[in-house]
Amino acid sequence: MNKNLLVELFVEELPPKALKKLGESFSSVLADSLKAQGLAAADAAVTSFASPRRLAVQVANVADKAADKPVSQKLMPVAVGLDANGAATPALLKKLAALGADESAVAGLKRVGEGKAETLMFDSVQAGVALAAGLQKALEEALAKLPIPKVMGYQLADGWSTVSFVRPAHRLVALHGAEIVDIGVLGLKSGRETLGHRFEAAQPVVAIRDADSYAKQLRNEGSVIASFAERRAEIVRQLAAAAAKVGGGVKAIEDEALLDEVAGLVERPNVVIGQFETEFLAVPQECLILTMKANQKYFPLLDAAGKLTNKFLIVSNIAPADASAVIQGNERVVRPRLADAKFFFDQDRKKTLTSRVEGLGKVVYHNKLGTQGERVERVRAIAIRIAEMLEVDVQEAETAAQLAKADLLTDMVGEFPELQGIMGGYYAQHDGLGDMVAHAIEDHYKPRFAGDALPRNAVGVVVALADKLETLVGLFGIGQIPTGDKDPFALRRHALGVIRMLIERDLPLSLDVLVKDSAAAFGSLITDASGALSEFIFDRLAGSLREQGYSAQEVEAVLALKPQRLGDIAKRLAAVRAFAALPEAAALAAANKRVGNILKKIEGEVPTQVSESLLAEEAERALFASVAALKPKADAAFEAGDYTGSLQALAALRGPVDAFFDGVMVNAEDAALRANRQALLNQLYALMNRVADLSKLSA
């Protein structure tokens, strides 16, 4: 019979940050195994449950025994299995015996194939697996594949046996409908009893009646919301309600990772409101928010302008009639945390950022690249050069670059490394360095991740570019190149940051020049890896452009030319897309590919000068005239940055190009004639491939 199946493993508190993934993995692997064994349909509904003390799954319509299925097995070649008289050989009889069959089965064997390739096949019926055996296999597989970074070993109740799991397991529930399925794991035997909430349960032990009553019984009798998704949604609902109760347009800070973690900490959430003294609001709000989120798992409340208020939300795991003790206890706990942040902030401001720079010389950056002090000098030199090229205030760029890493030596960043850069900005303002420098220091790590904002001002862009280029050039120069999934220095992220700034700010900078100037700051400390780094950056760029919706052909056509001003790439891509829509595009792309192949086969230097007196055929004279007439127009459009116009002008070449290839032999026997035609094609190729390599558009 088909009934819903429930499996629950009750354990001690699971790692909250990992709970969501543990629950998803447990349910999906167990259900997939049941489906693979034929105990559940491929489209069977699967419901995942995960709370701090349990992993569970419900699978719909699970059979008590999988259906029998026909199996056809390859035995051996006919020449090996049967003798000259057609009788079974000892080898065949031995094989059949291993499969549970005897000599009587020989007559029923099928022959497949012909001649020497003819093979004996044995058809049989494989009995379907019973639920207990199939579930045992599925559960063991689900536990083996849990994404657990580190397991712990613990002794069982007998005092001798030791098992390993993420946390000690205490109960196992396995119900097929209302019937217990006899399985065991981690020294446990299956039953129907589990435990409810540690403090809130109406009764400590909850006996699950059947697979369908699990979630309802746990909620009503055990005071546990078993579903991770439901519990998380309830937290979101209560946070919004509590914020509305505070009033004034405040709202809880949005943090998906914090929501997931808190949902992994509580079994039945109860949101209450706490507050702290307003004097702490004098500390930068990033510090207070971080300490409340990271250390206490609170949700700070922000006003309508995004400013931190002195109230915060606590997601409690208990719901007493009088929550004042819970609130006061949490307020008492958070106060020393905020006091520490205030102390660090006050102490740090007693020293200027400038006075801390010398100390960076004692901080190791990389054993092959020296100290943070030496790194700062390289970043400063690169920033000065970029500022000169962009005509940005060199003094401000130099100051920001020199002080950008100074906050690494402050107490606040020592306690909260996530605040590096941010605290540097605050301390720079305190030192009277002005918003331009302060914002540049704060923003020089940007963009930190996909979708992150770019630096706010030009000085910030200069320092951010310098910082990322120093990292890329330095690490490539000592051979620390990312391989596969390994990228310990986040060089892919640094490369994408450089790309985004160059493109989104449309900076008039050459990528090769940037890499070359950055390498110069290292002197002889590194080897030249500019070629590998350039390829690495263009690979990242290609991937980014494809993610933005450009086709592989469009991206390949533009990047094949390695355009050094990345700010032009969007216009080049738009031009290629517009060109590809022209009726002449396919023929011109194919011709362009043909021209490229001809030019590649030329030995030695490719001719460039065309002599009109050697243009013997009408078709080549027409092509020469068309190229000469079109070139000024295409040149003007290209120089003006009108790449679309430059490419669309090429449409007029289709007729002359087709006629040329129809009526002219490029590789003529006469050497002078051949060289002249090659020069004509060279001029045509140069004219067609300035915006993009159009041959990449050819199918």
Q: What is the pLDDT of residues 109-124, one digit of tens each?
A: 888 887 778 898 988 8
Distance CA 336, CA 329 (A): 12
Q: What is the pLDDT of residues 150-189, one digit of tens each?
A: 888 998 888 888 999 999 999 999 999 999 999 999 999 9
Distance CA 133, CA 15 (A): 30
pLDDT (average), residues 384-394: 97
Percent of the chain with pLDDT over 90: 76
Percent of the chain with pLDDT over 70: 100
pLDDT attached to residue 517: 96
Q: What is the pLDDT of residues 35-58, one digit of tens each?
A: 999 999 999 999 999 999 999 999
Q: What single-letter amino acid sits at 57?
A: V
pLDDT (average), residues 656-678: 89
pLDDT (average), residues 325-349: 96
- Asked whether the predicted pLDDT for residue 13 surpasses 70, the reply is yes
Segment 575-581 long-range contacts (CB within 8 Å, at least 24 positions apart): 575/643, 575/644, 575/646, 575/647, 575/691, 575/692, 576/647, 576/691, 576/692, 576/697, 577/550, 578/644, 578/647, 578/648, 579/644, 579/647, 579/648, 579/650, 579/694, 579/697, 580/553, 580/554, 580/697
Distance CA 428, CA 422 (A): 10
pLDDT attached to residue 182: 96
Q: What is the pTM of this model?
A: 0.81
Q: Of residues 88 and 309, which shows the higher confidence score?
A: 309
pLDDT (average), residues 251-270: 96
Q: What is the pLDDT of residues 604-649, one digit of tens each?
A: 888 888 898 898 889 989 999 999 999 999 989 999 999 999 998 8
Q: What is the pLDDT of residues 432-455, one digit of tens each?
A: 999 999 999 999 999 998 889 999
Kindly report the average pLDDT of the chain as a whole number. 93
Q: Of residues 331 and 1, which shows the higher confidence score?
A: 331
Give the Cβ contact number of residue 106 at 10 Å. 18
pLDDT attached to residue 376: 97
- Asked whether the predicted pLDDT for residue 20 surpasses 80, the reply is yes
CA distances from 140 to 41, 78, 180, 185, 612 (A): 20, 41, 18, 7, 82
Confidence band for 602, pLDDT divided at 50, 70 and 90: confident
Distance CA 95, CA 144 (A): 34
Give the Cβ contact number of residue 602 at 10 Å. 15
pLDDT attached to residue 699: 64
